[in-house]
Structure 1
Amino acid sequence: MGFWYYSSSVRRKRNLDGDKSQEIPLRNNLSGSLSMHLDCSIYGRDDDNRGEMNYFNLSTILTATNNFSDANKLGEGGFGPVYKGKLINGKEIAVKRLSMKSKQGLEEFKNEVILIAKLQHRNLVRLLGCCLEGEEKLLVYEYMANTSLDVFLFDPKKCKELDWAKRTSIVNGIAKGLLYLHEDSRLKIIHRDLKASNVLLDDEMNPKISDFGTARIFGGNQIEANTIRVVGTYGYMVPEYAMEGLFSIKSDIYSFGILLLEIASGKKNSGFYHPEREESLLSYAWRLWNDGKGLEFIDQTIVDTCPISEVLRLIHIALLCVQEDPNDRPTMSMVVLMLSSKLINLPQPSAPPFTKLLQAGDASSSYFYF
Structure 2
Amino acid sequence: MSTSWNRTGENKPTVLSTLPKELPLDFLKTITGQFAEERILGVGAFGTVYEGTMPDGQKIAVKRLAENSPIARDKAFNSEVQNIMALQHENIVKLVGFSHEGQKKVVLNNGRYIVADIVESLLCYEYLSQGSLQKNLFEVPILTDWDTRFKIIKGICKGLVFVHSIGIVHMDLKPQNILLDDKMVPKIADFGLSRLFGQEQTRMNTQNVVGSYGYIAPEYLYRGEISNKSDIYSLGLLILETTTMQKNCPGNEPSAGSFIKSVRENWTPNHIVSQFPGSDGDRLQQVNKCIIIGLECVEIDRQKRPTIENIVDRLNGLCSSTS
- TM beyond 0.5: yes
How far does the alpha carbon of each residue in 1:191-226 deviate from its partner, in whole angstroms, 9 at most, with x for none?
Answer: 010110100000111000001111111122211110
Opposite residue 245 of structure 1, the aligned amino acid is G
Opposite residue 74 of structure 2, the aligned amino acid is L
Matched, 1:235 2:214: yes
Q: Distance in 2 between matches of 1:216 and 1:61?
A: 28
Aligned to 2:64: 97
CA contact (8 A) 1:320 1:330 kept: yes
Aligned to 1:61: 28
- Give the SS at the match of 1:232: coil
CA contact (8 A) 2:272 2:288 kept: no
Cα deviation for residue 119 of structure 1 reads 1.5
Opposite residue 55 of structure 1, the aligned amino acid is E
- The ranges of structure 1 where at least 4 consecutive aligned residues each deviate by more than 4 angstroms after the TM superposition are 20-24, 297-300, 302-306
Instruction: Please identify which structure carries the higher strand content.
Output: 2
Q: Distance in 2 between matches of 1:200 and 1:295?
A: 32
Opposite residue 92 of structure 1, the aligned amino acid is K
Task: Tell me the TM-score normalized by structure 1.
Answer: 0.73
Match of 2:260 among 282, 289, 308: 282
Q: Identity of counterpart residues, as a percentage?
A: 41
Aligned to 2:149: 167
The size of the alignment, in residue pairs, is 289
Match of 2:321 among 342, 346, 355: 346
- Give the SS at the match of 1:154: helix
Match of 2:132 among 137, 148, 169: 148
Distance 1:162 1:133, change over 3 A: farther
Q: Distance in 1 between matches of 2:271 and 2:216?
A: 25
Match of 1:311 among 263, 282, 287: 287
Gaps of 5+ in 1: 1-6, 9-19, 26-53, 348-370
Q: Distance in 2 between matches of 1:23 and 1:315?
A: 45
Aligned to 1:16: none
Distance 1:268 1:119, change over 3 A: same
Match of 1:77 among 27, 44, 49: 44
Q: Distance in 1 between matches of 2:272 and 2:75?
A: 40
- Give the SS at the match of 2:48: strand
Matched, 1:129 2:129: no
Distance 1:178 1:298, change over 3 A: farther
Match of 1:328 among 286, 301, 304: 304
How far does the alpha carbon of each residue in 1:309-337 deviate from its partner, in whole angstroms, 9 at most, with x for none?
Answer: 32111100111111111111111110000
Cα deviation for residue 298 of structure 1 reads 8.4
Cα deviation for residue 138 of structure 1 reads 0.5
Task: Tell me the TM-score normalized by structure 2.
Answer: 0.83
Distance 1:214 1:298, change over 3 A: farther
CA contact (8 A) 1:265 1:299 kept: no
- Give the SS at the match of 2:131: coil
Gaps of 5+ in 2: 3-14, 103-118
CA contact (8 A) 2:23 2:99 kept: yes
Q: Distance in 2 between matches of 1:298 and 1:88?
A: 51
CA contact (8 A) 1:65 1:86 kept: yes
